[in-house]
């Protein structure tokens, strides 16, 4: 299953508010990992250093965060 592209929801059709609302419902560490990856475009090792965890944990946070974001956007 492809990952949702959060940027596609922030276009001129006003869905940016939907993304922000969905992001508020994602767990804080998942939200932080998503922000660092997709907004700041940091690699996993830098995200791991920022969050104080292992790169494998970052992969899990991003995977689960995207799944939760997808679920909340479909609500």
CATH code at position 36: 1.10.10.10
Three-state secondary structure readout of the chain: CCCCCHHHHCCCCCCHHHHHHHHHCCCHHHHHHHHHHHHCCCCHHHHHHHHCCCHHHHHHHHHHHHHHHHHHHHC
Split at pLDDT 50, 70, 90, the class of 15 is confident
pLDDT digits 0-9 by tens, 26-35: 999 999 999 9
Q: Look up the domain containing 33 and give its range.
A: 29-75
Residue 65 resides in a domain: yes
pTM of the predicted protein model: 0.79
The model's pLDDT over 37-71, given as tens digits with 9 standing for 90+, comes to 999 999 999 999 999 999 999 999 999 999 999 99
């Amino acid at each position: 299953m492809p990952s949702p592209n959060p940027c596609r929801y922030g276009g001129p059709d006003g869905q940016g508010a939907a993304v922000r609302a969905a992001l508020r419902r994602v767990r804080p560490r998942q939200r932080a990992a998503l922000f660092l990856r997709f907004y700041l475009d940091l690699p996993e090792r830098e995200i791991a250093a920022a969050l104080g965890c292992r790169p494998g944990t970052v992969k899990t946070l991003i995977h689960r965060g995207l799944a939760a974001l997808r679920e909340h956007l479909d609500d």
